[in-house]
Amino acid sequence: MEATHEPGTWKLWLEAHGPKLLLCARQWTRSLADAEDVVQEAFVRYWRHQRHLPGDPQALLVTSIRRAALDHARRNARRAAREERAGGGLEDRDGAFEPAPGEDADRRRELEGALQRLPAGQREVLVLKIWNELTFEQIGETLEIPANTAASRYRYALAALRKELNPACHG
């Protein structure tokens, strides 16, 4: 779906792309609530000021989400430092995926753990490729890396996940 200027279209566009964008934001935030805030902030900024820019709307929005998440992380780091000096702290990071009805919660936790153990660059590329369905070129533009580097990180991430999640197949 293409971002258009018609009233109400933003609701349809967000409904269609929101879950993927939330998962994307989730990799850069400490909690689901933070990810929701980041998506909202980035989406509003995109819809008001950036949707007229050339390029794929979803790729532009993912870039906006990444920037909003990094800004959010900096604000949280400053807040955490203040709270630590004052004797408080932040909550632990919660899970990235919400379990579907009947889903194996242990397998979900195993996958989340394996994803979190990937190097950040590999995890970013994997989420952008699989859940946001971006091309390596779009991922490269979003992360400001060459498309070939994005493709390599993707291959390394898949190999690492296969090795960790199926150790019997790898020696």
Same-domain status, 113 and 162: yes
Beta-carbon neighbour count of residue 61 at 10 Å?
27
Q: Is 53 a domain residue?
A: yes
State the Cα–Cα distance between residues 110 and 36, nearest whole angstrom: 24
Residue 113: which residues within 8 A CB-CB, separation 6 or more? Answer: none
pLDDT in tens, the chain (171 residues): 444 445 567 788 778 888 888 888 888 888 888 889 999 888 888 888 877 888 787 788 888 888 888 888 888 777 766 666 665 443 444 445 555 555 577 777 888 888 888 998 898 899 888 888 889 998 998 888 999 999 999 999 999 998 888 766 555
Number of structural domains in the chain: 2
Long-range residue pairs from 73-81, CB within 8 A, at least 24 positions apart, any chain? 73/28, 73/29, 76/30, 76/34
pLDDT at residue 91, as a whole number: 41
- pLDDT recorded at residue 170: 53
1 and 81 within one domain: yes
CA–CA distance, 91 with 53 (Å, rounded to integer): 38
CATH code of the domain in which 109 resides: 1.10.10.10
Residues 107 and 154 in one domain: yes
Say if 98 falls within a structural domain. Answer: no
Look up the domain containing 161 and give its range.
103-171
Alpha carbon distances (Å) from 51 to 25, 43, 63, 135: 19, 10, 12, 19
Cα-to-chain-centroid distance, residue 152: 19
pLDDT at 84: 65
Same-domain pairing of 143 and 63: no
Domain co-membership, 2 together with 86: yes
CATH of the domain at 72: 1.10.1740.10
In 3D, which of 110, 113, 139 has the Cα closest to residue 24?
139
- Please check whether residues 34 and 117 belong to one and the same domain: no
Closest CA to 131 of 9, 3, 15, 18: 18
Q: Look at residue 32 and tell me if it is in a domain.
A: yes
CA distance 72 to 69: 5
Distances (CA, A) of 83 to 15, 21, 86: 36, 30, 5
7 shares a domain with 85: yes
